[in-house]
Amino acid sequence: MLSNVVSRKASGLRQTTSRASVAVKSVSGRRAAVAEPQSAAPVSAEDVFAYTKNLPGVTAPFEGVFDPAGFLATASIKDVRRWRESEVTHGRVAMLAALGFIVGEQLQDFPLFFNFDGRVSGPAIYHFQQIGQGFWEPLLIAIGVAESYRVAVGWATPTGTGFNSLKDDYEPGDLGFDPLGLKPTDPEELKTMQTKELNNGRLAMIAIAAFVAQELVEQTEIFEHLALRFEKEAILELDDIERDLGLPLTPLPDNLKNL
């Protein structure tokens, strides 16, 4: 009889413990559900397009957003901000590169232009191989410092859900570098200046690609190529005049025939 009583009490204790365990799990589940952060509302393609349309860089002849490949259809605002940062950065590098091509080719015969022994010559696409030690090391250090600063200012700390993204309070391209105080305080004037920078950067990216392609094909410097073109056009115009007057034609030099 005593064993039956003990058995019934033990059974009741197990049931009570089981119910308590279920209750605790239920409460824990509700707490976890409350503590879980709610996901932000999804941004539609129309919202992304509207955000992009109000950015600097939307200009004639493309009064709307120029997106022939349809990248915005599947993009988020974070993607657009990251693309804008990339566009501004590449545009700035391209402007420096285009200027460096022209200046480097014009000053390569100047002894103070890091060319003491005259080893740097010809088209700028070959200057990379001609420059020896003492130039690239400081340049790489300077690039590393500049890029480290840009990452620290604009890029968020990588996380599982925020990898490869900009800081929320960072405006793409604004690194706080304005030693001459040229940045306008008026928002419209600032947007106009940013649009000019973007357009010049876009042109420079096309220009530096054309510089490299032209020098690879013709093996001539940029201004040398331009001068040869002018010379060829002048001779062809002179030939037209001579033909009209019945005079002997001025022959093209051999180096101009393939231009």
On the question of pLDDT at 164 being above 70, the answer is: yes
Q: To 10 degrees, the CA torsion angle through 21, 24, 28, 31?
A: 160
Which one has a higher pLDDT value, 159 or 112?
Answer: 159
Annotated binding site for chlorophyll b: 92
**Cis ω before 61 (30° cut-off from 0):** yes
pLDDT for res 16: 44
Rounded mean pLDDT of the chain? 80
pLDDT band at 118 (very low <50, low <70, confident <90, very high): low
Cβ atoms of 221 and 215 closer than 8 Å: yes
On the question of pLDDT at 30 being above 50, the answer is: no
pLDDT band at 113 (very low <50, low <70, confident <90, very high): low
pLDDT for res 85: 95
pLDDT band at 116 (very low <50, low <70, confident <90, very high): low
Annotated binding site: 87, 90, 92, 196-197, 200, 202, 214
Cβ atoms of 195 and 104 closer than 8 Å: no
Domain ranges for the chain, please list them. 81-219, 222-258
Q: Topology of domain 81-219, per CATH?
A: Chlorophyll a-b binding protein (1.10.3460)
Q: List C-alpha distances in Å: 173 to 92, 180, 200, 204, 216.
A: 10, 17, 14, 17, 32
Taking alpha carbons only, the member of 199, 187, 201, 89 closest to residue 147 is 89
pLDDT band at 112 (very low <50, low <70, confident <90, very high): low
Token pair recorded at residue 139: 């340049």
Tell me 171's DSSP state.
P
Separation CA 215–CA 221 (nearest Å) = 6
Annotated binding site for chlorophyll a: 87, 90, 196-197, 200, 202, 214
Query: What is the rounded average pLDDT of the residues 119-123?
Result: 81
Alpha carbon 65 to chain centroid distance?
18
Give the model confidence (pLDDT) of 63-97 as tens digits: 788 888 889 888 999 999 999 999 999 999 999 99
pLDDT for res 20: 38
CB burial readout 150-175, b (16+ within 10 A) else e: eeeebeeeeeeeeeebbeeeeebbee
Find tokens 């032209």 and name the residue.
Answer: 214
pLDDT band at 31 (very low <50, low <70, confident <90, very high): very low
Give the model confidence (pLDDT) of 202-257 as tens digits: 999 999 999 999 999 888 888 887 888 888 888 888 888 988 888 888 888 877 77
